[in-house]
Amino acid sequence: MDEPRTKNEKLRTKYMEYKAAAKYLRHSTRKVRLVTDSIRHLSVENACIQLSRMPKRACLDLKKVIDSAVANAKVKNGKNVGDLRFVRIDVNEGPSMKRWHAVSKGTAHTYKKRMTHINVILTDDDTNTGKTIADKGEKMSNA
C-alpha cells in the first residue's frame, strides 16, 4: 500500500524540474551566451537581479525566460524563488535569415540575421550534484 498509485504521486516524492523556453529570438547566439555564462553560477534570485542591471539587450529576453520558469514552479508546486536553482541553461542557434547589402558595381555582399533558442531548466533539489574543482584535485592527488 506504500506504492504510489499514479505516476504523478511518484514524481512528487522526487525533486521536480521546471522548464521554460523562448525560440526564434532575434539575438546572436554568441552574444546571448556571454550573458548566460555570467549568471550560470548564481542563484535564481541573484541572477534576476544581475540581469536587470546589465546593459546588454539579450538580458531582457533571458530574464523573461527565467521568470517564466519560476512562474511554472509557483503554479505547479507553489515554490518560491529562493527554493530553486539552475539545472541547465541552453542557448542554441536558431535559423538564420539570409540578407544582402548592395555594394559598388552592381554586386552584393551577403550577411546573416541570426536567431537564438533559449531553454532554462530549474529544480527544487537542494543537493549539489556538480563536481567542484577542489573535488577533482583531491581525487588526482590520492591516485
Looking at 35-39, 110-114, 132-136, 139-143, which range is the least confident one? 132-136
Model confidence pTM above 0.85: no
Domain membership flag for residue 47: yes
Would you place residue 90 in the very low, low, confident or very high pLDDT band (cuts 50, 70, 90)?
Answer: very high
pLDDT value of position 111: 94
Query: Residue 83: which domain range?
Result: 22-127
pLDDT tier at 118, thresholds 50, 70, 90: very high
What's 45's domain CATH number? 3.90.470.10
- Residue 142 in any domain: the answer is no
143 in any annotated domain: no
The CA-to-CA distance between both ends of the chain, in Å, stands at 47
Q: What is the mean pLDDT of the chain?
A: 84
Under DSSP, the state recorded for 11 is H
How far apart CA 130 and CA 29 sit, in angstroms, is: 25
Q: How far apart are CA 121 and CA 20, in angstroms?
A: 7
